Amino acid sequence: MRIDIITCLPKLLEGPFSDSILQRAQNKNLVQLNIHDLRQFATNKHHKIDDYAFGGGAGMVLMAEPIVRCIRQLQSERSYDEIIYMSPDGDRLTQTVANELSLKKNLIVLCGHYKGVDERVREHFITREISIGDYVLSGGELAAAVLCDAIIRLLPGVLSDETSALTDSFQDGLVAPPVYTRPADFEGHKVPEILLSGNEKKIEEWRFEQAVKRTRDRRPDLLDK
Ligand code: ADE
């Protein structure tokens, strides 16, 4: 899979992808992540990429021209399954959306900034808009990092234990059951006996019951679906 992220703040995206699972996924060539600095696609002398909003009002708007130049250059090299715009008014990112996007080959992710991007980019170039929640971030970069993490960890070979993404919260419509590690007795707080029994079938049943109970207690809305 290949993901091209378009941003006016490329430095913001250096951190999330340079450690742990996301770094390993790139080293193993399971994902190719490319970050494009929007400023490099500006044609004017000062590399200006934003301007005042027509009609007035506070805040700057990212101009269509550099964004479209960047998208067109990428599209001249390969075809893309989706051109995603990160925006608080997009469709909510869920495990189902991450699962679906993890099956794609090439994605472009555009990060907004300031007051957002010129509406004509959204109308004519963006194929999908995604929000990571009902709150406003300073820009789309951190949201893009969240989206990429949710997608990349699902790619075959990325997680060392291939089954572990399948047992994540939400994959079966339930939140995950509780987990424990050594010691079996921590300051008098004991691990549930069943987990020490070695009876795999019983343990599996216990985990399922716990997941259902936890979902009922914490996220009953998931059971309604
Ligand atoms: N950009 C700013 N806020 C955002 C959010 N909540 N989700 C996605 N992109 C954003």
Ligand 1 neighbour 133 (Cβ under 6 A): yes
Cβ contacts of 13 within 8 Å, gap of 6 or more: 5, 7, 35, 141, 144, 145
Domain ranges of the chain: 2-152, 185-224
148 CA distance to ligand 1 middle (Å): 14
Is-above-0.90 flag for pTM? yes
State the fold for domain 2-152. Alpha/beta knot (3.40.1280)
pLDDT one-digit tens code per residue, 159-186: 987 567 877 888 889 999 999 999 999 9
Residue with tokens 């007051």: 115
Mean pLDDT of 148-158: 95
Q: What pLDDT score was predicted for residue 181?
A: 97
pLDDT one-digit tens code per residue, 9-50: 999 999 888 888 889 999 999 999 999 999 999 998 899 999
Q: ipTM more than 0.95? A: yes
State which of 132, 142, 148 you would mutate to test the pocket of ligand 1, scoring each by most atoms of that ligand within 8 A of its C-beta.
132
pLDDT one-digit tens code per residue, 87-118: 999 999 999 999 999 999 999 999 998 789 99
β-pairing, 185-186 vs 189-190, is antiparallel
> DSSP letter string over the chain?
-EEEEEES-GGGGTTTTSSHHHHHHHHTTS-EEEEEEGGGG--STT---EEEPTT--SSEEE-HHHHHHHHHHHHHHS--SEEEEEEEEEEEP-HHHHHHHTT-SEEEEEEPBTT-B-HHHHHHT-SEEEESSSS--SBSHHHHHHHHHHHHTTSTTSSSSTTTTTTSTTTTSSPPPP---S-SEETTEEPPGGGGS--HHHHHHHHHHHHHHHHHHH-HHHHH-
